[in-house]
A and B are shown apart, each in its own frame.
Chain A
Amino acid sequence: MMARKSWRMEIPLHFMIMPGLIFILIFAYGPMVGLVIAFQKFNIGKGLFGSEWIGLENFKYVYSLPDTMNVIRNTVYIAFMKIVAGLVAPIITALLLNELRKQLFKRTVQTLIYLPNFLSWVILSGILIEVLSPTTGILNDFMAWFGLERVFFLGNAKWFPYVMVTTDVWKEFGFSTIVYLAALTGISPALYEASVIDGANRWKQTLHITLPGMLPIIILLTTLSLGQVLNAGFDQIFNMYSPSVYETGDIIDTYVYRIGLGNGQFGVATAVGLFKSVISLFAISLSYILAYRIANYRIF
């Protein structure tokens, strides 16, 4: 009798979860079934069941393309730089912000640096295309005023990856800065007071108290960002790249977009997508496991 009663108590919970579950099954797991397209010569008219099965042909095809290795290299390089810069910039900014005494100034700075985070890459790219223009942009105007040579930031393959990393940090660093700042305020003032008695100056305090105090959250954010090793930022790069920078700026996602969607080669696009998803699965799982082991972070 007890068993039946407790089952009945659970029925409402099952009903509650039902709508969410249905959405997930259709829109998240449904496409996973569609991954078979990676092994097909997919024709949108013939659909999943009518298209010809070609096994690993799509994968071999992509592997044989001359640009593939370069694209993967670009992706890892840019993603890696973003992870590192995305770590260093906010930490330094948070440390500097922590030194401020005037609260109004501190809050204003936080508000302003967090702002670009909320603008989409369409808007920001529009702004950057304007500002970085070699002929009419204010940055180049400013540089010319100092006698520096004008640079076509978005059209020069040498500059492009670094422009992408810098502007990405510019957009995102406000977010992490605020997290680090919150962690900083959690460090006990007693530690600082004790160190002052021992004669430590601000720099020594930063080195021996502040940074170690931030270590848990730094490790956490770093390990979590490792899962993004193949995401070099489609939204950003797609909106600012051009054929003249493909050599250094073409990443896996933009490459797949062009050869897959642009040429209607859905099978190929899906194959690369599958490859990326599998690697990401390992990377993200690894990052969560590391975060759990090192920083005791549980998501559920």
Chain B
Amino acid sequence: MVEHLSIGRKAFIIVNYAFLAFLSLLCILPMINVLAISLSSKGAIEGGLVALWPVEFTTFAYEHIAKTKPFQASMWISVQRVFIGVTLNFLLTLLTAYPLSKEVSQFRFRTVYVWIFVFTMLFGGGLIPSYVVVKQLGLIDSIWALVLPVAVPIFNVVLLLNFFRSLPKELSESAFIDGAGHWPILWRIMLPLSLPAQATVTLFAIVMHWNEWFYGLIYMNSPDNYPLSSYLQTIIIQFDLSSISDVTQLQLMSKLNDRALRSAQIFLGALPVLVIYPFLQRYFMTGIVMGSVKE
């Protein structure tokens, strides 16, 4: 069907495309600016010459950071945290969602359990009491302080619970008739089926564990135990560059601009997310829709 477009409509279409292009650029230009600064020479930065493209290209900032111990150590802590944290989340979400997805006829305490879990979404103890609990358990300065308190992501449990409920009842019923108990059904039927739903939720969990910085600062007394995001916070926001200045000051001052250094830190901190995002954005997008649009 050929639409006869009015002048007004044509104008609107052009402006629309231009506006949306501008909006999209707004979302990446700041990052590009920072990247350009991180790759520019000290002179160029101080001269105010750097906008969106590196001037006097140099990778000195990155070379310097990659060698610093705190950066490497905190990167490793973040990797461990993501690995342990996400594995725990995955297992506990599965183990908790399956029983809760059963009807009250099959699981009499179901409603009680559901309320126990869901209430925690409505009310909490707050920062200080949580800190006291973690301290009393002796978890301060340990990676477990970052992983155990958030081990059960209630929102994900609810998502998975609803997913299990949407599966046909015949699935588990026929397994029961064949003599299988709940455990085999969970591992052999429910687990594989849950993978697509879990995949999206797992991605969000990975991003959360990687980005979370506040509890990293609070629960770790020694900066040696900071995850990457917390370490970056001390550099980027608190401007505390003392941990990087172990190279002779003169050499540092002549080649390195602290804006370049911070920009490089920023970019490196964002890099993992930037890298996985294009490949997995489809899952991120279907994920939100799954969580919010109900029929």
Contacts and interface: CB of A to CB of B under 8 A. Distances in A.
14 contacts: A13-B102, A14-B109, A17-B95, A17-B99, A21-B116, A32-B129, A105-B20, A114-B284, A126-B262, A127-B31, A128-B30, A179-B289, A239-B237, A277-B126
Interface stretch (A65-73, A74-82, A117-125): A117-125
User: What's the dominant secondary structure at chain A's contact region?
Assistant: helix
Nearest to B3: A196
A37 B132 contact: yes
A187 to B, nearest CB: 12
Interface in A5-55: 9-10, 12-14, 16-17, 19-21, 23-24, 26-35, 37, 42, 44, 47-48
Contacts, number: 261
A136 B133 contact: no
B102 A130 contact: no
Interface string A95-130: 011011000010011111111101110110111111
A27 B130 contact: yes
Given A21-B113, A125-B237, A269-B127, A285 B151 contact: no
Contacts of A21: 96, 113, 116
Contact of B27 (A100, A112, A123, A297): A112
Nearest to A298: B294
Given A119-B270, A174-B27, 7 more contacts: A26-B137, A27-B130, A27-B150, A31-B125, A31-B130, A138-B52, A300-B100
B152 to A, nearest CB: 5
A131 interface: yes
A112 B24 contact: yes
Contacts of B98: 13, 16
A33 B133 CA distance: 10
Contacts of A33: 125, 129
A44 to B, nearest CB: 8
Contacts of A182: 289, 293
A72 B52 CA distance: 40
A164 interface: no
Chain A interface size, under 10 / 10 to 19 / 20 to 34 / 35 or more? 35 or more
Given A23-B152, A27-B130, A115-B277, A297 B262 contact: no
Give the interface centre of A120, A179, A266 by most chain B CB atoms within 10 Å: A120
Interface residues of B, number: 97
Nearest to A265: B128
Interface in B137-170: 137, 148-152, 157-158, 161-162
Contacts of A30: 125, 129, 133
Given A111-B278, A136-B259, A123 B181 contact: no
A126 B268 CA distance: 12
B213 interface: yes
Interface string B12-50: 110011011101111110110110010000000000100
A23 B89 CA distance: 11
Interface of B: 9, 12-13, 16-17, 19-21, 23-28, 30-31, 33-34, 37, 48, 51-52, 92, 95-96, 98-100, 102, 106-109, 113-114, 116-118, 120-130, 132-133, 135-137, 148-152, 157-158, 161-162, 181-183, 186, 207, 210-214, 229, 232-233, 236-237, 259, 262-263, 265-266, 269-270, 273-274, 277-278, 281, 284-285, 288-289, 292-294
Contacts of B137: 26
A128 to B, nearest CB: 7
A217 B274 CA distance: 30
Give the interface centre of A42, A127, A217 by most chain B CB atoms within 10 Å: A127
Contacts of A119: 211, 270, 273
Nearest to B45: A136
Please provide the 5 A-B residue pairs with the shortest distance between their CB atoms, ordered closest to farther: A31-B125, A34-B129, A273-B126, A120-B211, A31-B129
A56 to B, nearest CB: 17
Contact of B127 (A97, A183, A273, A285): A273
A235 interface: yes
B213 A122 contact: yes
A147 interface: no
Contact of A127 (B30, B100, B281): B30
A111 B19 contact: no
B123 A277 contact: yes
Contacts of A260: 128
A31 B124 contact: yes
A240 B113 CA distance: 41
A136 to B, nearest CB: 6
Give the interface centre of A19, A105, A109, A122 by most chain B CB atoms within 10 Å: A122
B24 A270 contact: no
A122 B233 CA distance: 6
Given A10-B106, A126-B266, A138 B33 contact: yes
Given A16-B186, A120-B211, A170 B127 contact: no
A37 B182 CA distance: 43
A2 interface: no
A202 interface: yes
